[in-house]
Amino acid sequence: MDYFNRIHDYDIREEIGVGTFACVYKAVHKPSGQIVALKEINKDFFETPEKLNKTKREIDIAMKVDHPLIVHMYEHFENEQFIYLVMEYVEGSNMLDVINKYNVLPEGKARKYFQQIIRAIDYLHNTLNIVHRDLKAENILLDQNDNIKLIDFGLSRFCDENGCSTVCGSPAYTAPEIVKRMEYSHQADIWSAGILLFAMTAGYLPFYDENLPTQLHKIILINPVYPETISHELKCLLQKLLQKNPTERITIPEIYENPWFIFYEKHVNYADAAYCVNSLPLNMITLNQVRTYYPKLDVENLVKALDMSLSTPELAYYKIARLHAIQEIMNHKINHNSSQTSIIPYNSLGNISNATKVFKNKLSMFRRADITKSIPFGLIIEKPMQKNVVNTFFKVINSHKRKITISNIRGEIVVLQVIPKVDIF
């Protein structure tokens, strides 16, 4: 489909951001009626091959990302003068605005944001093998449900076993190994996450100095001064995050076991756990919605486009509809203290062997104990289980405190065994 037909899918409403070579517009995706962000990049910006490659890398990475805590890119297209990027629209502020407004965040609020930041980083590192390289308060948006949305992959890159060597990022958040021009890896993002947590709970950046050489000197050699107002547990975690030797710096699995990180209040907001839903799978509801606009939709081609991170109008509609469904689930959990069982598909296409169960304000891990016929996604099951018919696609056959047996619309049976394990999402 040519540029004119693709741009016709969008009704531009207003300009919401402008730069030297790019403008961002709030627009409506006509087929779905959903609001999106449309970024228009002037090709005059690509005066050097390096800038063109940087933008192509950003697009390539953003099209692969599929996580509810990271802003989605739906599609991209171009004409002779501009490149257009169609992205998820996030209505809210960014982390820098919040820190500037409140100066210091309560540890409970900072913990929630930090948990989400780590979950997003974990996805980038371990699912996509990507180093973000520009984690900072300005690149953390907060949506209307007060959940984070990580943005800006302009400096990101795929990281192989040899690591990275390019000096980049925002100086105040840059890890010592980058400042020293050493090879670095995913652990550089952990340092930046530590800077973010410090800023949220202290109200200032630990190594900031108006003189750049002095700031870089502090990053390499000086330990930060921790405010007396923070808890002992938080201080211990910050010290591990801001360990100058990357090989001794705390890792993501170790963060998940950290006492400050796993502490949570008596009443867990289900909306805070809902973002562990990676994405909704291809299902008849979403597909039928897309078919209302594309009656000749080829499902095999759609699956192929999704798997290969291609940019097509049909896939853009599917992505928009799927993300809208996820957001509806999260909104429902915020506005309703759910008393019904709900089963939510866990992954877009992959065969996931784990699912998450929210039960008695604790999070437990499910593992498949027996599978008669395979189901191509994991499940999230929320208690209390008061109805046998869970939703359109699943029915509970038997419920037991140790096992739950369910069947899907095709009659395929799955037995899930409960293996208690406290975890926080």
- Specify the pLDDT at position 145: 84
Task: Let me know if residue 383 belongs to a domain.
Answer: yes
Phi, psi of 207 (to 5 degrees): -120, 10
Could you tell me the pTM of the whole model? 0.73
Please state, in angstroms and rounded to a whole number, the distance separating the CA atoms of residues 284 and 393: 10
Specify whether 159 is located in the same domain as 23. no
Specify whether 131 is located in the same domain as 224. yes
- Specify the pLDDT at position 294: 86
Overall number of domains in the chain: 3
| Residue 103 exposed, middle or buried by CB count within 10 Å (0-12, 13-18, 19+) | exposed
Domain enclosing residue 342, as ranges: 338-419
- Specify the pLDDT at position 353: 31
Task: Let me know if residue 273 belongs to a domain.
Answer: no
Specify whether 42 is located in the same domain as 178. no
* Known catalytic membership, residue 134: yes
pLDDT level of residue 168 (50, 70, 90 thresholds) = low
Q: Which range is least confidently modeled, 126-140, 151-165, 211-225, 280-294?
A: 151-165
| Of 62-66, 210-214, 324-328, highest mean pLDDT | 210-214
Q: How much of the chain, in percent, has pLDDT values that exceed 70?
A: 67
Specify whether 260 is located in the same domain as 119. yes
67 conformational bin, left if phi > 0, alpha if psi -120 to 50, beta if neither: beta
Specify whether 102 is located in the same domain as 210. yes
Q: Own/partner pairs for 418-421, CB < 8 Å, 24+ apart? A: 418/357, 418/364, 418/366, 419/364, 419/365, 419/366, 419/367, 420/362, 420/364, 420/365, 421/363, 421/364, 421/365
| Residue range 208-254, pLDDT digits in tens | 999 999 999 999 999 999 999 999 999 999 999 999 999 999 999 99
Task: Let me know if residue 328 belongs to a domain.
Answer: no
pLDDT(280) > 70: no
Task: Let me know if residue 270 belongs to a domain.
Answer: no
Specify whether 128 is located in the same domain as 29. no
Specify whether 247 is located in the same domain as 116. yes
Specify whether 84 is located in the same domain as 99. no
pLDDT(355) > 60: no
Give, in order, the Cα–Cα distances in Å from 236 to each of 161, 240, 292.
30, 6, 55
Specify whether 54 is located in the same domain as 110. no
> Residue 240 annotated as binding?
no
Specify whether 123 is located in the same domain as 192. yes
* Residue from 9, 134, 189, 272 carrying the catalytic annotation: 134
Three-state secondary structure call for residue 396: strand
Better pLDDT: 82 or 405: 82
pLDDT(197) > 60: yes
**Residue 313: cis peptide before it, omega within 30 degrees of 0:** no
Task: Let me know if residue 395 belongs to a domain.
Answer: yes
- Specify the pLDDT at position 2: 60
Average pLDDT over residues 333-346: 40
Q: Which pair of tokens denotes residue 206?
A: 């630990």
What CATH number does residue 16 fall under?
Answer: 3.30.200.20
